Amino acid sequence: MSDGTDLLEHMNFFNKLISQLRSVDVKVEEEDQALILLSSLPKSFDHLVTTILYGKDTLKMEEVKYTLLSNEARTKSSGSSSESLMVKSSGQDRGRQKHKSGKQNRSRSKSRVKDNTCHYCKEEGHWKADCPKLKEKIKRKQKEHVEASVVSDSEKEGEVLTVSSGMDFSDDWILVYGCSYHMCPHREWFESYASHDGRIVPMGNNNECRAVGIGNIKIKMFDGVIRILTEVRHVPELRNGLISLGTLDASGCTFHGANGILKVSKGALTVMKGERTGTLYRLHGKIVTGNAAITSSSDNDATLLWYARLGHMSERGMLELHKKKLLKDVQSCKLDFCECCVLGKQCRVKFVTSRHRSKDILEYVHSDVWGAAPVTSLGGARYFVTFIDDFSRKVWVYFLKHKSEVFEKFKDWKTNVEKQTGKHVKVLRTDNGGEYTSK
């Protein structure tokens, strides 16, 4: 925060940052929030910060906000922006109390000297406002604190949350949800580029920069596949490349984070992975630029050309030809997903031929019904049912007048054959035509 900035706007901005961190599962304790907020105030608030820290064992965010807003309101009502609360030393207190009785003055001085204990580290000899351990903690929190700034443009098309931390990711991409667009600081990373003007970017150091171009960037992902980020804004003053999860969400991607890994998926395919480093997710991938991009592009074109010439040959077949140096201008034979091949080359998988070998008679019996015959027999039958023993291949045939007689014939056959052989029917196999259940 710089001098002259409205305190309420600064606090609203701070609350927005905390909410953004909470949305990516980064928890900041209440006392740490209060310390970070106080450390972000300009030097004109030093006396007020000292007053807030003095005599407090713990800090509560609500109390800090109330004190800051109360002081802001009192400052505006008095017409002086430099007026603030101040804690003076015991000698200054005695000077201010010179019109009061000496006894009362001496009593207060002794009390202040006696209570010379820090409420933060519990050591004697200094107060909390001068505690070296507390100052060290505030400096550490300032280094670890994630700074963010909201980017607004004159066209009011959206917002971009740019994030930076104490760690150096200058050559990496950071996955963030607060960006409305992908952003990149390096001109040489762009595969295609067009000048673009009009986007003013407020940075975390109170400086402003501008998006000067827009284009596409190729990135080789964790799985070796080269994917293209489109409509990436070129902002030279940024520290890192930023990938907008909001933009990916709008294109149909989904996100899942667990065990420090953020996965970006489209359908069943994982297209990006980010690894958590500190409080940020760093993309697993490398930029494809310069000659690498040109080689990759030309190689892909040559591979696809030969792929079409050879009638959509398999990748394994093309590798064999490539090893024999029969494919001109092809460096590798990596093929992308081909929908035409999936639709044109798919075939129905045949059923596996099953074989059954029985070890004894009546262990496995086949049965089927034939009919109705176009001509009725002399006995009035139009159907017949067969029972075939799988082991001996013996066949029994029974003639039927009606199909509903099948089950009765089966019971007769079963009784007779079991008495004759002394064996029992174990399995009866039919075509499930319903003849055993018909009436």
Instruction: Determine the average pLDDT of the residues in 46-52.
Output: 76
**226 and 319 co-located in one domain:** no
| E strand or H helix that includes residue 321 | helix 315-323
Instruction: Determine the average pLDDT of the residues in 236-254.
Output: 85
Instruction: Determine the average pLDDT of the residues in 414-432.
Output: 92
Measured CA to CA, the distance from residue 286 to residue 280 in angstroms comes to 17
pTM (2 d.p.): 0.34
**200 and 263 co-located in one domain:** yes
DSSP assignment string, 136-162: HHHHHHHHHSPEEEEEEETT---EEEE
Q: Are strands 226-234 and 261-266 parallel, antiparallel or unpaired?
A: unpaired
Higher pLDDT, 115 or 171: 171
Structure tokens at 306: 């030969």
The pLDDT of residue 418 = 94
Measured CA to CA, the distance from residue 303 to residue 318 in angstroms comes to 9
183 within a domain of the structure (yes/no): yes
Q: Are strands 173-176 and 241-244 parallel, antiparallel or unpaired?
A: parallel
**187 and 275 co-located in one domain:** yes
Measured CA to CA, the distance from residue 189 to residue 312 in angstroms comes to 33
Instruction: Determine the average pLDDT of the residues in 154-175.
Output: 50
Task: Band the pLDDT of 56: cuts 50, 70, 90.
Answer: low
Higher pLDDT, 426 or 134: 426
The pLDDT of residue 156 = 35
CATH number of the domain encompassing residue 417:
3.30.420.10
**267 and 182 co-located in one domain:** yes
What tens digit of pLDDT does each residue of 140-151 get? 665 554 443 333
The pLDDT of residue 346 = 67
**396 and 321 co-located in one domain:** no
What tens digit of pLDDT does each residue of 393-413 get? 999 999 999 998 999 999 999
What tens digit of pLDDT does each residue of 369-381 get? 998 999 999 999 9
Measured CA to CA, the distance from residue 357 to residue 364 in angstroms comes to 9
184 within 8 A of 214, measured Cβ to Cβ:
no
**322 and 370 co-located in one domain:** no
Check whether 293 has a pLDDT greater than 60: no
Measured CA to CA, the distance from residue 197 to residue 211 in angstroms comes to 6
Amino acid in position 79: G
What tens digit of pLDDT does each residue of 190-231 get? 888 888 775 666 554 556 667 888 888 888 888 777 888 888
376 within a domain of the structure (yes/no): yes
Instruction: Determine the average pLDDT of the residues in 22-51.
Output: 78
120 within a domain of the structure (yes/no): no
**220 and 324 co-located in one domain:** no
Helices 61-78 and 46-53, axial angle in degrees (round to 10): 140
DSSP letter at 124?
B
The pLDDT of residue 152 = 35
B/e letters for 190-214, b = 16+ CB within 10 Å, e = fewer, are bbebeeeeebebebeeeeebbbbbb
**280 and 308 co-located in one domain:** no
The pLDDT of residue 373 = 93
111 within a domain of the structure (yes/no): no
128 within a domain of the structure (yes/no): no
CATH number of the domain encompassing residue 232:
2.40.70
The pLDDT of residue 143 = 52
The total of structural domains in the chain comes to 4
Give the mean pLDDT of the chain: 74
67 within a domain of the structure (yes/no): yes
81 within a domain of the structure (yes/no): no
Query: Which residues lie across from 220 on neighbouring strands?
Result: 226, 286
**177 and 224 co-located in one domain:** yes
Check whether 256 has a pLDDT greater than 60: yes
Q: What percent of the chain has pLDDT over 70?
A: 71
Query: Which residues lie across from 367 on neighbouring strands?
Result: 387
Measured CA to CA, the distance from residue 81 to residue 4 in angstroms comes to 9
Domain that holds residue 309: 302-345
| E strand or H helix that includes residue 192 | strand 190-202
**326 and 222 co-located in one domain:** no
**181 and 268 co-located in one domain:** yes
192 within a domain of the structure (yes/no): yes
